[in-house]
Each structure stands twice: as C-alpha cells, then as structure tokens.
A and B are shown apart, each in its own frame.
Chain A
Amino acid sequence: MKKLIKSSQQWVHKMASPRWFYQISGRWLPWLSLLTFVSIIIGVIWGLGFAPQDAKQGNSFRIIYIHVPASFLALVGYYIMAISGAIAIIWKIKLADVVMKSAAPIGASLTFIALLTGAVWGKPTWGTYWIWDARITSMLILFFLYLGVIVLQKAYSAQGLSNKAAALLALVGTINIPIIYKSVDWWYTLHQPATIKFTEAPSMHPDMFQPLLIMIIGFYLFYVTALIVSMRAEIIFRERNTSWVKELALNLKDKRPI
C-alpha cells in the first residue's frame, strides 16, 4: 500500500513537471492545431454561408456562431483559471501556476470577443450596441475579473505573493459565473435565454444547431491549443536557467538557425 501511494505520488509529480509537460505537449501540438484550424474553418463557412437565416433576425443571426462559443469558453476558462490557481497555492504545483497565468489573457480575449460580437449583434436586433442589463453587465464584470488577475500577477515584485493574490481574486470571482449563467432567468432582460441547455434538447432547428456544435468544438480545441502554446512559452521563460532549457535552445540553434 505504501508503495502504491508512493508510486502514484511520483506519477503526479512527473505529470506536473514543467519539463515533462513541455516534451509531451510538443507531440500533441501539431495535431491539436490542425484539428482546431479545420473545425473552425468548417464552422465559419457553414455558419456564414450554409446555415439558414433566422426568421426574425435575418442574417445578423449568423453572429451566434462566434458569440455563443466565445461566451461559453470565457466561462469555462474562468473555472479552469480559478481551479488551477487554487491547486497552485494549496499544493504548490508549479504547472498549475503556469496554467493560471496562461489562462488569464486567453479568457480575457474570449470575454472581449463575446462582448464585442454581442454589441455588434445588438445593433440590428435591439437597435442599440449596449444596454446595462444583467447578462451584459455580469459579462463585463467577468472581463474586469480577468484583467484584475492579469494585473495582480505582475503587481508584486515577489512572484509567489503575486500569484497568491491573483489566485485569490480568481477564486472569489467564481461567484460571478453562476450569476452570468442565471442572469437571463433571474432578471428581466433583452438578452434571449440560453439556446443550449444541458438538461433539455436544443431549441434550435438542427440546420442551425449543427454548425453551432462544430463551432463550440472548434472553440474548445482552440482554447486547449492556445493554452498549451502559451504554457510552453511560460515554461521556457521560467526554466530559462535550467540545463534542459539551455540544451533545448542550443539544439534548436544547430538544427535551424533562428
């Protein structure tokens, strides 16, 4: 039993080693990038040209194929950031800290995309780019929470303290996620209720829903790929004085002069 615990501990440590992650993710990355690219291209062409237009909203409805996946990943990404921040401060796992740091700018960008596409969609549909309703305001708060985490990571000269503060803000901010999710039910709002619910069949016609599903898969893949690319850069930065990174850099120099 003791042996089992010890070997599983070793496994966790190996998994969480930045060097190991760098090496294994290098093998995944080409495939992930290809899958991401293909699914988003298919989703975009399908959504822009082949999905039927909405009976009420016309062609502006096509914005849904960016807006919904971006919003969805902005929320999922927040949980990923907050949970890895918690793991980083509780168990002091370096790789979790790298995840938190890399997840923040990606999440902020996706939240920005969600707000922007929502605004651009609002103009032809509601007649205004912006209203201070519950869904939109709580989404704006999400954007500021992401920015807060990014700023806090750079706030203190002691890296450990910065990370702790950022992780704490991320954790407190998770309260906002169910509020965003439920905002369309709790408050009167212009924003339409959720198109996709986990508990029910989608309210959309399959011709409209299929490209949306492709786009959600594409955005998920994009998220994972972008996170890995960003983590790899962060790992190289943090381990820049170790022998394995020096070796890697010199190997790269011999193979192809950069």
Chain B
Amino acid sequence: MMFQFENFSDFIYMAGHGQYVWTAYSVSLIIMAFIFVMPLFRKKNIIQKIIKKNH
C-alpha cells in the first residue's frame, strides 16, 4: 500500500478531479458531524430548562 500522489499539491489537485472529490468529502463529513452534534446540544438545552424550572 503506497501513497498515490507525488506531493501535497498533487494530492489536493488530484489530476483535475480534486474539486469534485474534496467537495464530496468535506460537505458529507460536515453534514455527518452536524447530525451527531445537534442532539447533544438539544439534550443540554432541555436539561438546562429542567434545572431552571426546578430551582
């Protein structure tokens, strides 16, 4: 198993396909991070409200 690119700029450029590949990966991973983090904030929010109400 070898790194497929000569150097870092080759890796970014990907022989002209870089824009497509990097767009696909970055947008997908951002959406996934978002789905994961949103409920955590939601839960924190609800718990804060419960604390406030019972204070």
Contact = CB atoms under 8 A, between A and B. Distances in A.
A123 interface: yes
Given A59-B14, A207-B1, A258 B21 contact: no
A226 B36 contact: yes
A153 to B, nearest CB: 15
Interface string A230-258: 10111011001000011011101100001
Contacts of A246: 50, 54
Which of A116, A120, A226, A252: most chain B Cβ within 10 A? Answer: A120
Given A109-B32, A109-B35, A113-B28, A58 B15 contact: yes
Interface string A53-66: 10000111011001
Contacts of B38: 230
Interface of A: 40, 44, 48-53, 58-60, 62-63, 66-67, 70, 102, 105-106, 109, 112-113, 116-117, 120-121, 123-124, 207, 222, 225-226, 229-230, 232-234, 236-237, 240, 245-246, 248-250, 252-253, 258
